[in-house]
Amino acid sequence: MSRITKKEIGLLNDYWNALNYLAVGELYLMDNPLLKRPLELSDVKPTVVGHFGTVPGQNLIFTHLNREIKARKLNMIYISGPGHGGNSPVAATYLEGSYTKIYPNITQDEEGMQKLMKRFSFPGGISSHDAPETPGSIHEGGELGYSLAHAFGAVLDYPDLIAACVVGDGEAETGPLATSWHLNKFINPDSDGIVLPILHLNGWKINNPTILSRMSKEELTSLFTGLGWHAYYVDESEPMKLHKKLASTMDLVFDEIKAIKEYAKKNKNFRPFYPMIILDTPKGITGPAEIVGSYKSHQIPFQVKDTDSLQKLEKWLRSYHPEELFDRKGRLRADLRALIPDEDHLMGLNPVTNGGMLLKDLVLPNYMDYCIEFRRRGSVEAQDMMELGKYLADVFKLNEDNKNFRLFGPDEAVSNRLTHVFDATKKTWNMTIRPKDELLSPNGRVLDSILSEHFCEGALEGYLLTGRHGIMHSYESFIRVIDSMTSQHAKWLKISKELGWRLPISSLNYILTSHVWQQDHNGFTHQDPGFMNHMVTKKADTVRIYLPIDANTLLSTVNHMLGTKNYINVAIASKHPRYQWLNKEEADEHCTKGIGMFKWASSFEGKNPDVILGCAGDTPTLEVIAASSILKKYMPDLHFRVVNVIDLFKLQSSNKHPHGLDDADYDALFTKNKPIVFNFHGYPSLIHELTYNRNNDNLHVRGYNEEGSITTPFDMRVQNRIDRFHIVLDVLKYTGLHNPELENYCNSMLIKHKKYIVENGLDIPEVRKWKYDESTELEKYLVDTKNKVTLKSLYKHEMKNTLTVPLGLSDKREETLDISKVSCMFVGGASGTGKSMFLNSMLTSLLINNIDINFYLADAKGIELKDYNGITSVKHFATTKEDCKKMLCKVHDILIKRISLEKGLEFKTVVLVIDEVKDFLDEDGWKMINDFITLQSCKYKIHIFLSSNDVTDLDVKQVEFKMSFDLSSKEQSQNMGIKDADTLDSPGNAIFKHNNKVIKLTTPYISDLEIKDILSAL
Ligand SMILES: Cc1ncc(C[n+]2csc(CCOP(=O)(O)OP(=O)(O)O)c2C)c(N)n1
């Protein structure tokens, strides 16, 4: 830029004075904004509250930044670290016109100026701090320390953006700010923007000198050089010289920024030393002489209570010469208006600072595709966070072009088992990378390599506030480090929502793991589930807390969180191998409801309960399920209901939280008076707090009680009494029932446990090897049938060497199916209703009968039929759509060949089974299936079996043999052509239909073990 002229310096000084005048007016005045008449006491606010010391320095900075913006057409935002001087940004945005754009009633004339001055830091008006109400702000300057982190988050993925960030020299003493200087190691100079820190070295805090201001220039330069900054020092108190020095320094700084950006375009992988400015000016410069350059300028230099102080204020205000800066109407002088950048470059109107304007929804994958498949609940172990990582990897991939999603956490992504995200991206790192380093890259989208919860949180907030999406993950206990930052963000959201002009931004999402119940190498210090207690104090329209219990519920929860706006969502998840409880459909339904009964874990399907077992959180839920198995065994007549809570606020009344259940729904689940034994992830008092005022106060909560250090996982539960044995004892206690045998069992297990762990360092085998009791699942499978209908029991008849398989029991009559008559059979039924078990019983029957058959099997999940893969008679086992198509074509070719061959030839029997046909067949596939039906493939010994859990859009009316288990809607029953198939409420119950023959059946049960035994015997 050309050298600054004297005239220009004069204009800059006048502009600065106009800002200073407005800012002092904002503090003191209610009326007489242009001092057209002598000041009267009634013109002054009765109580003056706010800050002055930081204000003139910030006004100076704003004035000079505008000069650079205007000359260079820069895309810049302004962050006021010492934003307690909120009158500065308010004055600055008013003078440049953006304030009036947003608040049209605050006009740029005398009337508007009066309103502006009066509303500042005044009841019913605006905050005394830089705040959501301030145009162009993404930073509330009340709680100090986060300005640089916010600035860093703002410039990520916005390569043209410059965040000019004023850092108070007192603010710089806070931990979060002190660590934030390292942001320059995480900026990609090509694909991210620039943070320009301006250290406001005005020398004092509220009541003390600042540390940095008492260091020598050499010390300061060394400090900032060591931190990777190229510090420009501006040290002056005489206004004209100050303008000159600052203007020429800013010219150099912005030249350097330009050079860095240009260099970065051509040269990859370099780490620039970014420029910063140290502005050393007296605190409260331009204020009354006795307070300038002292801590006394920090807040209000003096209150106006009498004529003396009134005159002093008038003198001070007139020292800025408002009559020379504004015309009679209150309009800024024309030559000063000419200093203002055009509307598209005003910092107060930069759309980046109203992030909702730029927000693009995330493209989310179908989370169901990442869900864990299992045959029996509690039979598969998985690491929930690991599974989530696979989903998040695809969130990264799907949003790669938009570059609007990032993950933040303090050195814990791998520890928190989000390892799979690194299939899609890497960790942000713009320093040297050594051969043994892993996953680092200047292009990585995971901020992981800085151990600062503050910095990660601040960066995420900056990223969200500027219109992008993200997740912060953390050890549950250490998220407490940033409790206060979350509070400030919640406050920001509350005010923003009230404003109307701030558009909704993406929610602040937390995933907390490595939680209180997970004992690894860490102990007592790593146990604190209190973030939930903190969160419930926030506004109900903002906070959401979720406690998923397994991978599928975690996936559903996080998928939901990522689609929300203006919330703070907290999910608490397990990262260790844990049993999986809900299949994807159940997880979807349960998470949508947020609370519900687990019929399968309850006794008598949860009907007429004597006691409710409530649970929230993965570990408490596991213990309640284990307790339920014990109760079923020892107290078969006890009616109990297991209620699981995923969405914690469901417990609160609907008039307190939008997610809360109304009393009728709450009572329907928890009853009005039966004892509730509630097992909770966090501190028990929180459940009492949430359920305060509910009808049923017969509530007994177990949770974390500050017990347990380095010990076994189960001992943590025992010490805090959330373990299965204490739950069972609680059930006895609160129902008043006596069962000495059960009491004895629980107490002896607890004694054994204590002894065993200190001797062996391991949990007792009864706990370690505990598996969800399959017989309870079996019981459920055989509900309403006192007789067991096992496959074995149906083998009384000689079926050897036939193609006859058992269908099931109908009114004690055994029904069979001769599959030699079947060209195509269709089996429908929702997940978990018995459909796949029927296919299994048919296949094992055929194998037992020892018929020489060639099997062709397709199983997308690779679960239901996986045991048959590898058997010699299985000629093809398909798990993908393409492979299944190939297989179908092969069998179709066999059919066509057989038709063309002479009749009478001895063909080998072919059985083709496609489980979950919807995952496999396209239009061509269905055409081939139709051929098998119309050409009557059974004549050529080819038999097709298809199954689907959803028959909504399938046309299966023409299929000759049909079997339906419970379907989830009437419409599906109609499609299937089987009346009332949607009312078959017990798994294993089915309706078979062939021509006009309709039979209601209980189909045969075969356990996984039996299948394995049969197959290994072959
Ligand atoms: C985290 C935090 N601690 C304490 C305070 C109280 N406080 C408000 S202003 C201030 C001094 C700030 O000094 P500095 O950052 O140098 O700002 P300036 O001198 O420009 O006003 C303090 C301690 C605060 N707002 N935030």
DSSP 750-773: HHHHHHHHHHHSS--HHHHT----
Q: Establish whether residue 80 lines the binding site of ligand 1, counting it when its CB lies within 6 angstroms of any ligand atom.
A: no
Q: Specify the pLDDT at position 801.
A: 59
User: Computed from CA positions of residues 927, 933, 936, 940, in that sequence, does the dihedral angle turn out positive or negative?
Assistant: positive
Crossing angle for the helix pair 724-735 and 618-634, to the nearest 10 degrees: 60
CA–centroid distance, 635 to ligand 1, in Å, is: 63
CA–centroid distance, 120 to ligand 1, in Å, is: 20
Q: Establish whether residue 715 lines the binding site of ligand 1, counting it when its CB lies within 6 angstroms of any ligand atom.
A: no
Read off the DSSP letter of residue 512. Answer: E
Q: Establish whether residue 202 lines the binding site of ligand 1, counting it when its CB lies within 6 angstroms of any ligand atom.
A: yes
Q: Establish whether residue 814 lines the binding site of ligand 1, counting it when its CB lies within 6 angstroms of any ligand atom.
A: no
303, exposed or middle or buried, with CB in 10 Å at 0-12, 13-18, 19+?
Answer: middle
- At 476, list the tokens: 């549950």
Phi-psi label, residue 605: left if phi above 0, alpha if psi -120 to 50, beta otherwise: left
Q: Establish whether residue 279 lines the binding site of ligand 1, counting it when its CB lies within 6 angstroms of any ligand atom.
A: no
- At 281, list the tokens: 């000016």
What does DSSP say about strands 989-994 and 961-964: parallel, antiparallel, or unpaired?
A: antiparallel
Q: Establish whether residue 171 lines the binding site of ligand 1, counting it when its CB lies within 6 angstroms of any ligand atom.
A: yes
User: φ, ψ for residue 128 (rounded to 5)?
Assistant: -80, -10
Q: Specify the pLDDT at position 999.
A: 93
Tell me the three state secondary structure of residue 719. Answer: helix
Q: Ligand 1 pocket: which of 79, 205, 291 to mutate (most atoms <8 Å of CB)?
A: 205
Nearest CA to ligand 1 atom 21: 54
Q: Specify the pLDDT at position 871.
A: 87
Percent of the chain with pLDDT over 70: 96
Q: Ligand 1 pocket: which of 84, 88, 210 to mutate (most atoms <8 Å of CB)?
A: 84
Read off the DSSP letter of residue 1003. Answer: P
- At 57, list the tokens: 């320095």
Residue 85 CA: which ligand 1 atom is closest? 21
Cα–Cα distance, 705 to 707 (Å, whole number): 5
Q: What is the residue-wise DSSP string for 96-124?
A: HTHHHHHSTTS-SSHHHHHHHHHHBTSTT
Q: Establish whether residue 86 lines the binding site of ligand 1, counting it when its CB lies within 6 angstroms of any ligand atom.
A: no
Nearest CA to ligand 1 atom 11: 205
Q: What is the pTM of this model?
A: 0.82
Cα–Cα distance, 425 to 400 (Å, whole number): 10
Q: Where are the beta strands (DSSP E) in 705-832?
A: 804-810, 813-818, 824-828
Q: Establish whether residue 205 lines the binding site of ligand 1, counting it when its CB lies within 6 angstroms of any ligand atom.
A: yes
Q: Specify the pLDDT at position 952.
A: 82
CA–centroid distance, 211 to ligand 1, in Å, is: 13
Nearest CA to ligand 1 atom 16: 170
Tell me the three state secondary structure of residue 89. Answer: helix
- At 297, list the tokens: 């300028």
Q: Establish whether residue 200 lines the binding site of ligand 1, counting it when its CB lies within 6 angstroms of any ligand atom.
A: yes
Cα–Cα distance, 509 to 546 (Å, whole number): 11
User: φ, ψ for residue 191 (rounded to 5)?
Assistant: -100, -10
Three-class SS of 821-872: HCCEEEEECCCCCCHHHHHHHHHHHHHHCCCCEEEEEEECCCCCCHHHCCCC
CA–centroid distance, 118 to ligand 1, in Å, is: 25
Q: Ligand 1 pocket: which of 206, 285, 454 to mutate (most atoms <8 Å of CB)?
A: 206
The DSSP bridge partners found for residue 612 are 641, 676
Q: In what order do the strands lie in the sheet with 997-1002?
A: 813-818, 804-810, 997-1002, 989-994, 961-964, 824-828, 942-948, 909-915, 853-859, 874-878
User: φ, ψ for residue 105 (rounded to 5)?
Assistant: -80, -15
**List of the chain residues with pLDDT < 70:** 1-2, 773-801, 850, 902-905
Q: Specify the pLDDT at position 832.
A: 74
Tell me the three state secondary structure of residue 901. Answer: coil
Stated as kind and residue range, the H or E segment containing 595 is strand 595-598
Residue type, 699: L
Residue 204 CA: which ligand 1 atom is closest? 19
User: φ, ψ for residue 401 (rounded to 5)?
Assistant: -70, -35
Three-class SS of 255-272: HHHHHHHHHHHHCCCCCC
Contact, 973 vs 967, CB < 8 A?
Answer: yes
Residue 200 CA: which ligand 1 atom is closest? 20
User: Radius of gyration of the chain from Cα atoms?
Assistant: 36
Read off the DSSP letter of residue 386. Answer: H
Q: Ligand 1 pocket: which of 79, 144, 148 to mutate (most atoms <8 Å of CB)?
A: 144
The DSSP bridge partners found for residue 854 are 910
User: Computed from CA positions of residues 381, 383, 388, 389, in that sequence, does the dihedral angle turn out positive or negative?
Assistant: negative
CA–centroid distance, 83 to ligand 1, in Å, is: 9
What does DSSP say about strands 543-546 and 568-572: parallel, antiparallel, or unpaired?
A: parallel
Q: What is the largest CA-CA distance in the chain?
A: 123
